[in-house]
Amino acid sequence: MADNIQDIPISQLTSKQKLDGGIYIVATPIGNMKDITIRALEILQNADLIVCEDTRVTNKLLSHYGIKKPMAIYNDHSLERDRRKIISKAESGEAVAVVSDAGTPLISDPGYKLVKDARERGVYVTCLPGASSVTSALVLSALPSDSFYFAGFLPTRSGSKENFMKEFLSIKTSLVFMDRNSRLESSIKVIDSVFSGAEISIIREITKTFEEARNGSAQELLSYYEKNGLPKGEIVIVVDTRKSEVFSEDNIDDMLHTLMENIPLKQAVDEVVQKTGKKKKIIYSRALEIKDS
């Protein structure tokens, strides 16, 4: 008897069958090749066409399981005519499997318009659940998961990133962001500025050899990465905003008034900057206005 599922030929795991015409959204592994369901393998084995983001990436998965099927590309650069071609195949009775490079299609991946148009045309659409970095990161973060908000990829620039995060100030829950490791330091600083006091979890390389979840305050994480270098690989950030402090202009003015009654202006400014994470130039300017008034 085979020791594990990897030793069992795919022909023994799946059955050859004619699938109904339609679009099958198939979740694929996010790292470990074993993280795929038997049903997903069966659909890929019996599909007439596999639609993917990158044939090179998907071919690695198919080759690993001995599957050979025609493939077509559908990604962020695809046009309406590409969608029409795919949908017309499903309408003609072909089974079209849609996969992303990793994880569940349509979650921060292309495919939304394809599924929307297919459903509007009455094409059969179904989903095969499976691996997702979003839910996996939430579980690994050890932060509250009774509710969460997935906000997708963070903007590239710090200014845009800060404005983007401020949209979630009123949401007290676990926020889930995707990010690049090269921008992680900037992201942590912005999180600290917007959600002062929040606990942050940095999760990387989910299901892979160097999987890691590291929790702490912004300052603790920045100090760790300064000593050990930024992590490599795919990054998911989870932020627990339930205990974060939100500082309004009125809060800051009150803090400055109180501090300036007892300590010099410069020292008061430094304390407010440290507590709120706001830019020193802005706090100093406000302190001068309060002093002059």
Phi, psi of 87 (to 5 degrees): -65, -35
Is residue 1's pLDDT more than 50? no
Q: How confident is the model at residue 5 (pLDDT cuts 50, 70, 90)?
A: low
What share of the chain in percent tops pLDDT 90? 71
Residue 10, pLDDT score: 66
- pLDDT tens digits for range 73-104: 999 889 999 999 999 999 999 999 999 999 99
Mean pLDDT across the chain, nearest whole number? 91
For residue 38, which of 70, 6, 71 has the smallest C-alpha distance?
A: 6
- For residue 136 the two structure tokens come to 């996996």
Which is higher by pLDDT, 272 or 31?
A: 31
Which is higher by pLDDT, 192 or 98?
A: 98
Q: How many CB atoms lie within 10 A of CB 59?
A: 16
What share of the chain in percent tops pLDDT 70? 93
For residue 221, which of 207, 209, 235, 205 has the smallest C-alpha distance?
A: 235
Q: How confident is the model at residue 135 (pLDDT cuts 50, 70, 90)?
A: very high
Distance from chain centroid for Cα 128: 20
Identity of the residue numbered 50: I
Residue 7, pLDDT score: 59
Residue 110, pLDDT score: 83
Q: How confident is the model at residue 248 (pLDDT cuts 50, 70, 90)?
A: low
- For residue 277 the two structure tokens come to 């994470």
Cut 0.85: pTM above it: no
Whole-angstrom Cα distance, residue 96 to residue 24?
6
Q: Which residue's structure tokens are 């800051």?
A: 252
| C-alpha distance across the termini of the chain, in Å | 84
The arithmetic mean of pLDDT across residues 28-39, rounded, is: 96
Residue 6, pLDDT score: 55
